[in-house]
Each structure stands twice: as structure tokens, then as C-alpha cells.
Amino acid sequence: MTSSAGSPARSANWNLPNAITVVRILAAPVLFWMLLADAGADGWLRWAAAVLFILAIATDGIDGHIARSRGLVTDLGKILDPIADKLLTSGALVCLSILGELPWWVTAIIVAREVGITVWRLVELRRGNVVPASSGGKLKTVVQSVAISFALAPLWLVLGEWVHWVNGVLMTAAVVLTLWSGLLYVRDAIRLARATREAS
């Protein structure tokens, strides 16, 4: 279906991919409750929280594939998708720090970057500019997701204490990529501001 100008009609905002993204956002507070209710006891709630996080974060690839393959990409989806990812990852990190399992400085670095980039995206959206996730941002999200999944699942109960070393390596990689991708967005912000000035 095309518009009168001959270009594809804009997909309705409330489609299947966006609905999946909204479900991911709604799953976040359930995840946080499970982690804090478990209170570091590493019981069934902790395992359930880890499974919920993995399932929720995995839907990021599912809704993206559906949106692209069916032509359902929308501006709303481009904004909601990274917000859902940031809510899940940042919230899980805060919970881990509250439980004393992750240094607060790690959480502060990651959350500050996520909030800063999200605010910038929203500002650009008000100006009519939609800023999609960059390749560096997508890689960062994948590594963060893997690191947090390992940190949430109490695998040390099954595999031994050496898992903590693996968790440390993964979280270090997540912090490095968080800072690197943040610098890429700063570069993009400078370029966008320069292009806006030249256009005006």
C-alpha cells in the first residue's frame, strides 16, 4: 500500500514488533521484584529472574527481525526498543549493586551512559531527528546482555566459584564497550549538530 505521493505508507505504531517491545518493558519491574525478593539467597526466584531476563532480552532480536522483514519499522519502535533494553539492563545492574554483587561504580558508568544517550535521542526526536542504534551500540547491548545473564544466573552453585572470574571478565568487556559506544554517539551528536547548523 502506498500513499498518494507514491511512497510506502507509514506503518501503524501499534503493531506486533512494538507490542513485543512493550511486553519487554512491562517485564522489567517483575524482574526487579524477583531479584530483590530473593535478597541474594540464590533460590528459585533468582533462577526465575535470570530466565526472565534472558527471555526478555532475547525478544529484542525477534521484534527487530519481524519489523524489518514485514516492513513494520516505525519511529516509535526505534525509540521504544533501546528504552526497553536500557530499562532491563540498567535495572538489573542496579539490583545487583543493591545486593552487593556488583560495584556501584560499574553500575554508575553504564547507567549514566544509557540515560545520557536516551535523553539525547529524545531531544533529537523532538527536533524531528530519529537516531537509531549504532553498530557499536548493538554490540555493546549484546555483550551487556551476556554479562548480566551470567551475573544473574547463580551458576557458581552448579559449576563452582571459577564462574565468578568469568563474570568479571564479561562485565569488564561490557564496561569497555559501553564507554566506546558512548564515544561513538558523542561523535554522531557532533556531526548531527554540525549538519543542522549548515542546513540552517
Report the interhelical angle of 75-98 vs 104-126 (nearest 10°): 160
Query: pLDDT band for position 47 (50/70/90)?
Result: very high
So what's the pLDDT on residue 131? 67
Q: Tell me what pLDDT residue 176 has.
A: 95
- The pLDDT of 40-63, averaged and rounded, is 91
Q: What is the dihedral of CA 110, 145, 18, 181, to 10 degrees?
A: 50
pLDDT band at 133 (very low <50, low <70, confident <90, very high): low
Q: Assess contact for 49 and 33: CB atoms under 8 A.
A: no
Residue 55, pLDDT > 60, answer yes
Q: Which of 89-98, 111-120, 155-164 has the lowest mean pLDDT?
A: 111-120
> By the 8 A CB rule, do 78 and 142 touch?
no
- All domains of the chain in start order, with CATH: 16-199 (1.20.120.1760)
Residue 110 has which C-alpha cell?
553504564
The letter for the amino acid at 130 is V
- Helix and strand totals (H; E) in the chain: 7, 0
Answer whether residue 8 shows pLDDT above 60.
no
In this model, does residue 113 exceed pLDDT 70? yes
The single-letter code of the amino acid at 132 is P
User: What's the confidence (pLDDT) of residue 162?
Assistant: 94
Q: Whole-prediction pTM value?
A: 0.81
